[in-house]
């Protein structure tokens, strides 16, 4: 019989972590740089989703800078079974010096354009 009960937050996090593990395994088996880049891009999205799910269920999670490799930030989640972490590709563009007011204006302008279909 199929379980039709909706997943709780911990179960959603567990599925996301298994997805990340699967992506890691696939990336280590592929020789193609393009394939690895695609896997790592999908993996980065899954890791950010896992952080959000972990925070929703009350686990400590976030991003830290690795002092030994500052260009590769580290995502961490404190699970009841212990800490898990992944290095992520850093953002390629330097901060443009925007203020909070500029940031808010940019977000509002983007949202208005996107909601209009632009």
Tokens of 14: 């567990």
Output the pLDDT for position 3: 64
Per-position pLDDT tens, the chain of length 118: 566 667 799 999 999 999 999 988 877 777 666 677 788 889 999 999 999 999 999 999 999 999 999 889 999 999 999 999 999 988 888 999 999 999 999 999 999 999 998 8
DSSP character for 10?
H
Give all strands of the β-sheet with 74-79 in edge-to-edge order: 61-64, 74-79, 82-87
- Tokens at 23, concatenated: 């992506």
Q: Where are the domains positioned within the chain?
A: 9-92
Q: Which long-range contacts (CB under 8 A, 24 or more apart) does 45-51 make?
A: 46/16, 46/19, 46/20, 47/20, 47/75, 47/86, 47/88, 48/75, 49/16, 50/13, 50/16, 50/17, 50/20, 50/75, 50/77, 51/75, 51/77
Q: Kindly state the greatest CA–CA separation across the chain.
A: 57
């Amino acid at each position: 019989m199929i379980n039709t009960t909706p997943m709780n937050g911990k179960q959603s996090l567990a599925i996301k972590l298994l997805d990340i593990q699967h992506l890691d395994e696939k990336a280590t088996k592929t020789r193609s740089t393009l394939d690895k880049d695609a896997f790592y891009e999908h993996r980065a999205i899954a890791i950010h989703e896992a952080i959000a799910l972990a925070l929703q269920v009350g686990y400590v999670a976030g991003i830290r800078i690795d002092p030994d490799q500052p260009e590769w930030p580290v995502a961490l989640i404190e699970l009841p079974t212990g800490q898990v972490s992944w290095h992520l590709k850093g953002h390629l563009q330097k901060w443009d010096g925007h203020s909070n007011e500029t940031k808010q204006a940019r977000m509002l302008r983007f949202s208005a354009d996107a909601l209009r279909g632009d």
